[in-house]
Amino acid sequence: MLSMPFRRWLPAATAAIALVLVAACNHDSTAPNTPALSLDEARSLGEAMTADAQGELEGITLSDGGGMFLPSMAATAFDGVDPTTCVPTLSPSPVVNSDGDRVPDSVEITFPGCAFAEGAEADTIRGAIDIIDPTPTVTDHAVKTVFKDFTRIEVEDGRKRSIVLNGTRQSSRDANVISQSETNFQTTYTFRDGGTASHTRTWAVTFTADVPGSIQPDAPLPSGTLSINGTSTWTRNANTYSLTVSTDPVLHYNASCTVRPKFDSGTVHAMVVRAGNTSNVTIQFTACGQYTVTRS
């Protein structure tokens, strides 16, 4: 067993995070089990999967309509962004909402490069997101969110890392539950050492508020649980892996956390397959900003 500390992916402040990588057990001395991925690859996968789980909550409450959609609302829906200093632009303006529900027909929100400090760190958000009503003539709660090179950059101790989101999510929600799905949604990572990776996923996600009725449009997300199920493809260097992903127990998002990832319990399980070899990567959240990654 190898245990070592490392810093968080994109949290608000320094957090103590333990990394535990366990070599696969060899139960048959005549047929050794070759891991599907190395210890270093498991470490980077754990970082990226943690960022993806946190990223599922980005902008999840974002929607409004009837010309009432304001740039400050767009800023508020993203973790750590100060709506008084970050002013996205909207197009078209005024916003059109044919059916009068909370979702505009189609509006593009462009973040020009909003820089803000979180603790001792400096973060920047840039890129664009389209908010689309998939049923523009039916009054309901459906919303489609299209991420277009939506980028979050973190500078920590003079070293930069980033994630870039591209793809479409579709969700339906009320004040208690948000159900979200995505197909071939891609995240591209640049790690602090300059290495890159990509994660293309087809996931079904459900967020359930701890307090019934506490999910409000264009407002910060309340505390609640997050379940993830689906498949994905992970590419790191010249290697590509197939993943089957689930949460058991489900993740608990704590809105009062001051460090990212803002989960204080729950576990992500990923069965990783490459070239006929299989490994299991487990990401267990133990407190705000703290988690362990285990390869077996």
Mean pLDDT of 194-212: 95
* Model confidence band, residue 212 (pLDDT cutoffs 50, 70, 90): very high
Given a cut of 70, whether residue 24 has pLDDT beyond it is no
| Residue 238, pLDDT score | 87
pLDDT tens-digit profile of 127-159? 998 988 888 888 777 888 899 999 988 887 777
pLDDT tens for each residue of 230-244: 999 999 988 999 999
Task: Please report which confidence band the pLDDT of residue 15 belongs to, taking 50, 70 and 90 as the band edges.
Answer: very low
Inter-residue contact 55 to 261 (CB < 8 Å): no
Alpha carbon distance 75, 89 (integer Å) = 10
> For the segment 51-109, what is each residue's pLDDT rounded down to a tens digit?
999 989 877 776 544 444 555 566 666 666 777 777 888 888 888 888 877 788 888 98
Mean residue pLDDT of the chain comes to: 82
